[in-house]
Structure 1
Amino acid sequence: MGTAAPHPARPQPVEPRPAATVLLLRDSPEGGELQVFLQRRVTGMAFAGGMTVFPGGGVSPDDVPDPARWRGPGPARFGSRLGQPETLAAALVTAAVRETFEECGVLLASRPGCPPVPVAEAPTWRADLEGRRVTLPALLDRHDMELRADLLVPWSRWITPPVNPRRYDTAFLVARVPDGQVADDATTEAVEARWWAPAEALAGHTAGELSLMAPTLHTLQDLARHPSAAAVLDAAARRDISPVTPEVRREGRVAVITLPGDPDWRYEETVR
């Protein structure tokens, strides 16, 4: 009697890379309704190509803040809210500020004792940061500026499912765009970017005009329940945050995504 061949070992899941995403908010200049800044990523990008997303990206080894250049709740407070070690929480907040500046030109930093106003040299600073000629902590120190952690509030934490070959453990944070600053689309990572009312973006997704990942869709659904940026920030301060790892299963040519603890939430994607 022959011996059955052993089943091939399943590959170990990839370790998620820490990342930060910013839900950049404003009240519409026209009607005062809540709006959020969204970007449609370049199709050929390795992660989320062609998807409409919030600004953000992975933590860099250089995202190590200077405590003397930090204004607002300390890293321990962010770590407690996000369920992360203090050192990583500091890096997540720094990455959030860096990515927001790189991807849409909004700088969540200011000179000591001052509001985060537009800075004439910002385009040059942004180019240097994108070109990796300077780190964000070094940039802030060089120009006597503070990282404004007080402008960011944790919202949620999402972890890419284990089946994915590229995984992220992402802190979602909310911030109101500072007065006078303008979010733009001057980034090589996106083909377009603009302000959307959450309900408008959700309608675009339903109509097939926007491609959204499950965390983006769920977050927009949450945001759509609030009438203003102030209401979102108030809700963010009171939220209980637990890591969310979507569950994925195949049903023929359809990938069905569900959320643990929320049996009524379901998202389907056609597998190509």
Structure 2
Amino acid sequence: MSIGAVEPREPAAPRPAATVLLVRNAPEPAAGRTPLQVFLQRRVTGMAFAGGMTVFPGGGVDPDDRPAPARWTGPGPRWWAERLGCPDELAGALVHAAVRETFEECGVLLAGPADGGPLDPEVLTQGRADVVAGRRTFRELLAAADLAVRADLLRGWARWITPESSPRRYDTFFFAATVPDGQQADGATTEAVEASWWHPEDALAQWRDGAIQLMPPTLRTLRQIAEYPDTGGVLAAADQQPIEPVIPKVVRRGDDIVVVVPGDPDYPLAVDHLSPAVRP
């Protein structure tokens, strides 16, 4: 090796993560509009990963994301392993992480009393505050409140892996879910500067105008769900979605930016990220 030469950097190992497409039908949709909305957050600019990006709620799998059988209802880890194409243990941890992250980041709890009774509102307020502040773990909250993860409220959607050029990488499994009756999503998280419900086509228009930034998986997913009029259409589509690991790239085709995946003729020449042209 010549003096001053730099050895190629080994790609970082991707960390397992879970993201949730939280969808709802707008309470009062405008005339002529489909009701489907999705919850999006704009991350704090200084964050190490995806800073400033508009994203779905989610995050990395933690060591404590080990589901207890007594704290689980619905399809089990083995069923989810077959659906997601990963080992049983990881599948259980991914579902647990998806429920935990959704609760921490937007206050929606995809869990319920183990006996099927009503959810204590205190869990959504003080319980969430305790988990976010680290006074107790999510597993501890489930046990203390006698709650069980509702795996039946989730649908598998996709699996995206951060490109190898990124110093921080994630192997992210996307889920879809609706907000349980009586709950409200909010933006009370330190990881986001704003959060709200969007019609998918509005988010895409804001991205095209340069008002928000989207990573390739978010862009492609918004385009996919924009094809459906309501939550029923999204959940039905999720049941038919093949889930295979994809490392996305993007290409510019005229004025549009297109997400391409392995097998696309443009994939070998595509790049990891492109910003939309800002319209005057």
Which structure 2 residues correspond to residues 150-169 of structure 1 after superposition, within 5 A?
Answer: 150-169=152-171
Contact 1:38–1:55 (Cα < 8 Å) also in 2: yes
Distance 2:247 2:15 in 1: 14
Q: Which residue of 2 aligns with 1:103?
A: 105
Q: Select the residue among 54, 57, 73 that pairs with 1:55.
A: 57
Distance 2:164 2:118 in 1: 39
Q: CA deviation digits over 1:170-221, x for unaligned, max 9? A: 0000000111100001111111100001111101101111110000000000
Q: Which residue of 2 aligns with 1:226?
A: 228
Q: Do the aligned partners of residues 33 and 194 (structure 1) sit closer, same or farther apart at CA in structure 2, a change above 3 Å counting?
A: same
SS in structure 1 at match of 2:19: strand
Q: Which residue of 1 aligns with 2:66?
A: 64
Tell me if 1:235 matches 2:237: yes
Segments of structure 1 that go 5 or more residues without pairing to the other structure are 250-254
Q: Do the aligned partners of residues 212 and 225 (structure 1) sit closer, same or farther apart at CA in structure 2, a change above 3 Å counting?
A: same
Distance 2:264 2:86 in 1: 23
Q: Do the aligned partners of residues 8 and 167 (structure 1) sit closer, same or farther apart at CA in structure 2, a change above 3 Å counting?
A: same
Residue type matched to 1:95 in 2? A
Distance 1:215 1:269 in 2: 14
Q: Which residue of 2 aligns with 1:262?
A: 264
Q: Select the residue among 73, 77, 87 that pairs with 2:89.
A: 87
Distance 2:119 2:203 in 1: 29
SS in structure 2 at match of 1:120: helix
Q: Do the aligned partners of residues 30 and 117 (structure 1) sit closer, same or farther apart at CA in structure 2, a change above 3 Å counting?
A: farther
Seq. identity, % = 57
Tell me if 1:29 matches 2:27: yes
Q: CA deviation digits over 1:102-142, x for unaligned, max 9? A: 00000011012437756234211111111222222221111
SS in structure 1 at match of 2:152: helix
Between stretches 105-114 and 214-223, larger displacement belongs to: 105-114
Q: Select the residue among 108, 128, 132 that pairs with 1:130.
A: 132
Q: TM-score with structure 2 length normalisation?
A: 0.87
Segments of structure 2 that go 5 or more residues without pairing to the other structure are 252-256
Q: Matched residue pairs, number?
A: 262
Q: Do the aligned partners of residues 151 and 207 (structure 1) sit closer, same or farther apart at CA in structure 2, a change above 3 Å counting?
A: same
Between stretches 26-35 and 192-201, larger displacement belongs to: 26-35
Deviation at 1:77, TM superposition (A): 1.5
